[in-house]
Structure 1
Amino acid sequence: MKKIFLSIAVLTMMSSCNDYLDIPVEGATDASNFFKTENDAMLGTNAIYSFLRSWENSAFPYQFVFGVPADDVVKGSNPGDASFINAYDQFTYTTSDEGIRGYWIGQWQAVNRCNQVLTKVPAIEMNAALKTRLLAEARMLRAYFYFNLVRIYGGVPILDSLKESYNNIPRSSVDEVYNFIISDLTSAAADLPQSYGAGDQGRVTKGAALGLLSKVYLYKKDWQKAYDTSNQVIAMGYSLDPDFNHLFRIAGEFGSESVFEVNCECSPQFGGSQYAEVQGVRNQFGWGFFTPSQALENAFEPGDIRKELTILRNGETTPEGDLIAMGDPNSVTTYNQKVYVPTSQNNNACGYGSRQNIRILRFAEILLINAEAANEMGNIATATLNLNKVRTRAQLAATTATNQAALRTAIWRERRVELAMEGDRFVDLVRTGQAATVLASYGFKAGKNELFPIPLDAINQSNGLFTQNPGY
């Protein structure tokens, strides 16, 4: 059994925000009476981690913006169930859509939790080394939330203190937000440890900070820094799990491939996570939403073992011995196998799949980041080497690509199948300039749908400081 490090955070985390973010926490204590002791500092930092497993960050709103808009994910369930989700598949959502608003609110709540720690903890008399580490954890996590915001909404306000609300200052540019993220990650990487003891599994590490930094540089197309930073991570001793199925099961959690992973163990304080439940096999393990598309099925090469270990089908028996029921003929028939928790390993004290950790960044992606950056710099040999490491694990032959253009396409395709159903496809299509072509038949409009709209009430409450994204 994993030791859960998350404790009950007795903060009113929204104390510095206006009504738009003022969502009460049952049984909470006002933050003005908190952050007095070393234990308070730990609880406040743990409250940031608790958000990683929250509904807003990993269940429905997350899938609305990172999942369904891609060509690899469909709404799921049956046609009449939560039909409003179709707006994300068809790019017909509006500035008043609750999913867009929910994700926006959630990320700002998380940023505020980070800023509580970064503002209050420095004044606490406590162990200096622990203080330094907790502040680094908060910076790393703040960078992650800002990375989510900038990829979905574009330029957003930069808040590095509790002195002002986000809707009282203008949006910063995309470059300014990325520079803020880079600053936080660079600072965090300098102070974070490379590993923790068993009781602290899931806390962010130096490798997580550098790994996320390499991904940020990838999005900025700063190829040299993406290459150099991913090389730092490669040198840290991570390795691919030789068994792709094991990688996503309980036994594979926090394994050799884990760079940034959310601890979702069921606990009395927090329950578990609904990340797996909302995607689980309908009427057997979960709700049956956010399921693989036919386009994703078609993307796998013949012989790629990842296909059947990514897509769970009605009527099949899993390697762990569960027979997947045939189900309602009006519902979808395939599901995301990466979130599957075997019946024998489920913790019935919480909802189905509550033990399923969320893999945010894996070593396989670090290799593909390195390969893409190397290829863009003309280093075909290194790009091919690291691409083939990922393909070998999938029991595929070495790539046949021999020039930069062909290798670029091969690396993009490898990202699609390796990271399938993990929330990267839509933003990958946007960053690589493929979205307007690949998603045209779904209703994607170039110059508009690369970003989601700023929620209407956020625009209204900004007193004219926010400009809306183009096309909305």
Structure 2
Amino acid sequence: MKKIFIILLTASLAGCSKDFTERASLTQIAKENFWKSEQDAQLAINGIYDAMQDRALYSGNLNATAGLTMFDCFGDNLYNNYKWEGPGDFMIGIITPSNGMFSSIWSSSYKGIARANAAIENIQNMSTTLISQDKKNALFGQALFLRALYYFNLAVYFQDVPLITKVQTIEEAYVPKNTYQEVNAQVIADLTEAIDKLPASYPATQYGYATKGAALGLLARVHLYNKNYQGVVDATTTLLTLGYSLNPSYAQLFTEQGELSKEILFSVRFNQDVSNNNELFSGTFLGNPAVDKLPMPNLVKDYYCTDGKPITSSPLYDPAQPTGTASHPQKKNRDPRLLASVYFKNDTFLIDTKARFGGNVPTTFGQKKYIRNTSVSANGIAAFNPGGQDFIVIRYADILLMRAEALVELNQLTEVYSLVNQVRQRVSMPTVQAVEGASLTQAALRDIVRHERRVELAFEGLRYFDLKRWGDVQNAFNRAKADNVTGYSPIYLTGKSEIFPIPLGELNVNSNLVQNPVWQ
């Protein structure tokens, strides 16, 4: 069953003036005809979710400006073959603050924040004669969660950004930046209150909305980025009791058939049958799978063999090169997550037309995870047109690995084994104890957890987040460069390769904004 979801909240909520000879304010939004019912409040919340479906955020693009779904192109997981989309030019050091990727992410995020501010400001003032207290709490909590998510993304990638927490008039709009610390404190405050307000679940007919688990998951992610490891442990301790579990099939999770999985804490929902509610991150070309984002050779090599050993030491690995239409020998005996995530030369990538992937792309590999595998869907949607795949923002496997990482950094190692083993054994990979041993050092377990995050979460937009947190961005650039992909030579630029610039258009219209020093 496909989901019901976002109704677009119209941009104007203003009512007409009582006297048509009066001129309504050009800078104030009238409230007389809105915030009068539960339906009004729900529409307002839906409008906040709607901004998340922008191409620049979680809807993604095919052959156009990159959004959050392509953030594995920053670093060593994916090669942005169409460099002008944004990540490619970023990686080779020629991008400027005028690039549309920066302005699109910025404007879409602040659109969502503005809608969240309106909801937060008005829902809490609505009388319980208009809306029940439980419903009021749930909607208010969702607005707080969504504002936190928008701001956390901005803070991680742009660092210091304007912190706006109330409905503004045009006269109030030109504000300076706040520090990362100030923005982060607001994110944590919003999530803390959201956790208190949000329900653990909704009726079966209502899904896609943020829950207590979603807010706890995002709080754990925020604490992890800030190296507050005890905060991660505290948030995930509660999460382990809320009924989430790993999806039995790893591959199915990233298809429309997996959208109701108990592994998902929060997704951005899409429905190709609803106007303005569809995505392109799962779209593909018909000649090659999603040729603008290609898996890097160093990532493919990082997946272990089924004996749990790296390809450099496993006797199961076949280094031979493929010939003819035979199955690619380097696929044999490999971690099933690799086979669910990457197309090799000679793989069939469109099952209805039996089209084979020729490997004739710069990295020789194609992205499989999340990418549609038919040229035309059952309801007639072409592979390169907008579709209805949901994008998973937070899932249970990530929770387990975040908790494992936090425990490693706290040097509390006992539980780490079971956390990693749960993730591995879902795809029938051997346990840590069976391969690496049962009495490992903190450093050894750190390497195991970081490797597990890479292969488990590849192409989910989290790699750059991980690299920044680990201080490993420069090494990732070097790994990407060492792949010797034709026409691709990443250049690490101190500062610039780890922080986005404030978009040039924002600086031009707001004299109170100052560019990040590394971009001046």
Stretches of structure 2 that go unaligned for 5 or more consecutive residues are 16-28, 307-334, 482-489
Per the alignment, do residues 200 and 42 of structure 1 end up closer, same or farther by CA in structure 2, a change over 3 Å counting?
Answer: same
Residue 22 of structure 1 corresponds to none
CA contact (8 A) 2:70 2:459 kept: no
Distance 1:229 1:318, change over 3 A: same
Percent identical residues: 29
Structure 1 residues 408 and 322: CA distance shift in structure 2, 3 A: farther
Tell me, in whole angstroms, the C-alpha distance in 2 between the residues paired with 1:333 and 1:324.
16
Amino acid at match of 1:44: A
TM-score normalized with structure 1 length = 0.88
- Determine the structure 1 residue equivalent to 2:336: 305
Residue 61 of structure 1 aligns to a residue whose secondary structure is: coil
Instruction: Select the residue among 358, 362, 368 that pairs with 1:337.
Output: 368
1:192 matches 2:198: yes
Partner of 1:118: 120
For the residues of structure 1 that align with 2:124 and 2:205, how far apart are their CA atoms? 25
Structure 1 counterpart of 2:331: none
Q: Is the 8 A contact 1:346 1:353 kept in 2?
A: no
User: Does the CA-based 8 Å contact 1:286-1:352 persist in structure 2?
Assistant: no
Pairing 1:317–2:348 present: yes
CA–CA distance in 2 between the matches of 1:199 and 1:333?
43
What amino acid does structure 1 have at the position aligned with 2:245?
S
Structure 2 CA distance for partners of 1:13 and 1:363, relative to 1, 3 Å: farther
Superposed CA offset, 1:32-59 (max 9, x none): 5543332121111111112222211121
Q: Contact (CA 8 Å) 1:64, 1:88: kept in 2 or not?
A: no
Change (3 A) 1:428 1:112: same
CA deviations on 1:221-249 (whole Å, 9 max, x unpaired) are: 11111111111111112111121112112
* Cα displacement (A) at 1:85: 5.2
| Contact 2:272–2:386 (CA under 8 A) maintained in structure 1 | no
Contact 1:371 1:386 in 2 (8 A): yes
> Does structure 1 conserve the Cα–Cα contact (< 8 Å) formed by 2:348 and 2:356?
no
Contact 1:66 1:423 in 2 (8 A): yes
Which among 105, 108, 111 is matched to residue 110 of structure 2? 108
Higher helix share: 1
Structure 1 position 462, deviation (Å): 2.6
Quote the residue 2:148 is aligned against. Answer: 143
- What's 2:380 paired with? 348
Match of 1:97 in 2: 99
Q: Which residue of 2 aligns with 1:253?
A: 259
Aligned-residue CA RMSD (Å) = 2.8
User: Does the 8 Å contact 2:51/2:109 carry over to 1?
Assistant: no
Equivalents in 2 of 1:322, 1:314: separation in Å? 17
Q: Measure, in 1, the Cα distance between the counterparts of 2:338 and 2:390.
A: 21
Task: Identify unmatched segments of 5+ residues in structure 1.
Answer: 16-29
Number of the residue aligned with 1:295? 298
1:390 and 1:330 mapped to 2: Cα distance? Answer: 31
> Deviation of residue 328 (structure 1)?
9.2
Secondary structure of 1:359's aligned partner: strand
TM-score, structure 2 as length reference: 0.80
Structure 2 Cα separation of the partners of residues 35 and 269 of structure 1 = 25
> Within 2, Cα distance between the matches of 1:210 and 1:76?
36
Separation in 1 of the partners of 2:146 and 2:431? 36
The count of residues paired between Structure 1 and Structure 2 equals 452
Matches within 5 A, 1:70-469: 70-76=75-81, 82=84, 86-124=88-126, 125-163=130-168, 168-277=174-283, 280=284, 282-283=285-286, 288-303=291-306, 304-313=335-344, 315-317=346-348, 323-326=354-357, 329=360, 334-343=365-374, 346-348=378-380, 352=385, 354-399=387-432, 400=436, 402-440=440-478, 441=481, 442-469=490-517
**Residue 24 of structure 1: aligned partner:** none
* Distance (Å, rounded) in 2 between the aligned partners of 1:314 and 1:376: 40
Which protein is bigger by CA-based radius of gyration? 2
The answer to whether the 8 A contact 1:314-1:324 is kept is no
Contact 1:2-1:199 at 8 Å conserved across structures: no
